[in-house]
Structure 1
Amino acid sequence: MSETVISTSPPQNRLPPVHEVKCHELFIGFFLIGIVGFGGVMPWIRRMVVEQRRWLSEEEFINMLSICQILPGANVGNMAVCLGSRFAGIRGSVSAIAGLFTAPFFIVILFAIFYSKYAGVPFVENIFRGVSAAASGLVISMGIKIMLPVCRTPHAIIVTILAVMGITVLKLPLLWVVAILAPASILVLWLLGRR
């Protein structure tokens, strides 16, 4: 009598199962990001999702971020909706968005009241300049963290350089840069894969 061997490894063409993330975890995670994420929330989302809670791998995060950046609307809002949907459907999206925007809604109202009363005070102006510099540093550091794993091939480095030049030197809108470089990049990879 022959034994039947049952393979327990997942088929190669299927994605591994997604972590189970509950709606309350999405709300709390994004609520905390909404509190600490002054001047640039995306680095905090990356840190929570990839480094701390390990809900996504670095590559999955970059892929999702790429999609969220070309969609209309705020990138962080798009990211919250996508992450929430991936883990808990529509309820997850609502939980993540509610968590992300609840605290900032009230904080921004308080800041607006404070700024309208004390905007001309030099000390307050210096505080806002310092906050702006810190926010710029966060955005730059996240850009570098995302760029390093992606730019491992000459093709990726060339596309990155062309994108930066298109936006900064040629002053092209992001939509044009994506519309030109995305199909060109896909075509080049397809041609390289046929060799």
Structure 2
Amino acid sequence: MSQGARAPRSLTELFWAFSRLALQGFGGVIAVAQRELVERLQWMSREEFVEALAAAQVLPGPNVINLSLMIGDRFFGLRGAFVALAGMLCFPSVIVLGLAALAGHYLAMPQVAGALRGMGAVSAGLILATALKLLPALKSSPLGLLPALLIAALAIVAIAIVRMPLIWVVLGLGGLGMLLAARRLGQEKAM
């Protein structure tokens, strides 16, 4: 944990923080997670958030769920991991069950379909804004800013244009990123 970073005072505070986080996100909670955990609560630095997010993305399952488990564990061990997970899932589950009960009638309405499309655009914008906000953290990355941006651009091209399966993009470009970072760390250690 970084110097000066605060920690949640209790499991209850951890639960409510992740409940708030889960209720603010619609299809993209990572932007909200960065704002809450780094800027508002100051439980992590930007660099720590980027490192935790990178690990969360490699693990199976939703990124924000993995992130909640790691952060809960970081502060309170296994109990914290379960409490943070409960915070992420409790209220959204109730909302989804309630919406599912109403879905048959309201999803056929063009206004509802349009609202959902609009929320998708907002979610994409939030993810882009978070990426731009976290960009300075790449300067301290062992990979370096320029190689990281190049790998990100290659990933976008591979997925969006070439339509490569995600597993091959992660294995290929992720492996390349790890190799380049290990090489740079080895060069720094040799100096």
Shorter-chain TM-score bucket reads 0.7 to 0.9
Task: Give the TM-score normalised by structure 1.
Answer: 0.83
Query: What do the CA deviations read for 1:111-152 (whole angstroms, capped 9, x no partner)?
Result: 233332222221111111111111111111111112233147
**Separation in structure 2 between the aligned mates of residue 174 and residue 113 of structure 1, nearest angstrom:** 37
2:179 is aligned, of 183, 187, 192, to 183
Structure 2: segments with no counterpart, 5+ residues: none
Question: Structure 2 vs 1, CA of residues 107 and 64 (structure 1 numbering), >3 Å: closer, same or farther?
Answer: same
Aligned length: 182
1:11 alignment counterpart:
none
* Residue in 2 that maps onto 1:143: 131
Q: Which runs of 5+ in 1 are unaligned?
A: 1-13
Equivalent of residue 106 in structure 1, options 85, 94, 98:
94
TM-score by length of 2: 0.84
Q: Which structure would you say has the larger Rg?
A: 1
Q: Which runs of 4+ in 1 moved over 6 A?
A: none
Offset at 1:183?
Answer: 2.1
Provide the rounded CA distance (Å) in 2 between the counterparts of 1:146 and 1:156: 11
* Cα 1:24–1:122 shift into 2, 3 Å: same
> Structure 1 residues 184, 123: CA separation in 2 closer, same or farther (over 3 Å shift)?
same
Contact 1:159 1:185 in 2 (8 A): no
Q: Provide Cα deviations, 1:20-75, integer angstroms capped at 9, x if missing partner.
A: 42211110100111111112111111111110111111111111111111111111
Higher helix share: 2
Report the secondary structure of 2:144's partner residue. Answer: helix
